[in-house]
Amino acid sequence: MRIICYLAAQRFETYMGYILEGREINKHFGSFHVLNDVSIGVSEGQITGLLGPNGAGKTTLIRILNQITQPDTGSLFFKGAPLSAEVLKSIGYLPEERGLYRKMKVWEQALYLSRLKGMSQAEATKGLNDWFEKLDMLSWKNKPVESLSKGMQQKLQFVITVVSKPDLLILDEPFSGFDPVNAAEIKDQILQLNSEGVSVILSTHNMESVEELCSEICMINQGKVVLDGNVQSIKSAHASDQFFVKFEGSHVGFANALGHQFEILDIKSNQDFHQSVIQSHGNAQPNDLLRALTSSVNLIEFSKRLPSMNDIFLKVVEDSKSLEHAE
């Protein structure tokens, strides 16, 4: 799966295979340019992380993709056809701001909102019963919504979002209000839906969730796409010259074998093996480190140390701030 920020020179080229595509989207609120030539293409069957700091433009983009608001300029497509109100039935949207009627009973509310998505009474009843049973919600059916905790209301709204079996889910901060147990349960359900072919756009500030769920990310800052692509490729591109090493043998011999080209940043030991993080310096290559280690210890594991998505997020935001100030 790929998310691609299209160059202006490519604007007339046709891109195929995307479930949802936006081309050169611009949006102003007064004199404030909220989205600046944002283009995004999301392929089918993947979980895409939509990232960015507060005020970056993510929620505005999501609202445009759901046709809640319209772009000033730009084009939107769903499965290659212009995005229309009709195809919105194929999109399930869980907004960050929750929208439940607090005085209604849980089952009445769930049934009413499911019917609004075009489900028949029988389809909605069966689908909701299945989900209520799956998520242990059957005892809630006759409770007023206002009696539910924030996390329980969030679970209810998740069920209402997915019960119509949409082709694409757009989830804006879906784990807000959940304790770790319920957050893990909803993550499992998202992964299960994805394994059944449902595409997902996940907007979140939780980088652990990105690591666990997303194969691709698209990051927006100050209304522009600043980073996109495959998560593992992005990690590799942002990796520093640090290595993780697990070995058996003398840690003294290990240290002596490294020489001046490599520095031990961290080492932990138990009775069976040692684990270390090593920083290379100058023109030192991974093969130089491997040769030094294999001549002195029994090497169990050797890998380049990749940064976390949280580290990358912070670096990209800081770099984009520096670039703005330089301009």
pLDDT at 261 (0 to 100): 85
Walk across the sheet containing 199-203 and list its strands. 91-94, 168-172, 199-203, 47-51, 216-221, 224-230
Residue 180 pLDDT more than 90?
yes
> What are the pLDDT digits (tens) for 29-66?
999 999 999 988 888 899 999 999 999 999 999 999 99
The answer to whether position 325 is within a domain reads: no
Beta strands at 216-221 and 47-51: parallel, antiparallel or unpaired? parallel
Give every strand in the sheet of 298-304, ordered side by side.
262-269, 274-280, 242-248, 298-304
Interval 138-173: pLDDT, tens: 999 999 999 999 899 999 999 999 999 999 999 999
**pLDDT tens digits, 59-87:** 999 999 999 999 999 999 999 899 988 88
Round to whole Å and give the CA distance between 51 and 225. 10
Among the candidates 192, 209, 230, a domain finishes at 230
Looking at the fold, whether 298 and 155 belong to one and the same domain comes out as no
> Are 199 and 279 within one domain?
no
Q: Which residues contact 126 (CB under 8 A, 6 or more apart)?
A: none
Q: Return the amino acid letter for 269.
A: S
User: What pLDDT is recorded for position 326?
Assistant: 53
- Which CATH number goes with the domain that contains 30? 3.40.50.300
Cα(124)–Cα(122) distance, integer angstroms: 6
Query: What pLDDT digit, counting tens, does each position of 259-313 carry?
Result: 788 889 889 998 889 999 898 887 888 888 888 888 888 989 988 888 899 999 9
DSSP state for residue 98 in the 8-state scheme? -
Mean pLDDT of 178-206: 95
Total number of domains in the chain: 2
Domain of 179 in residue numbering reads as: 8-105+148-230
Cα distance between residue 271 and residue 189, in whole Å: 40
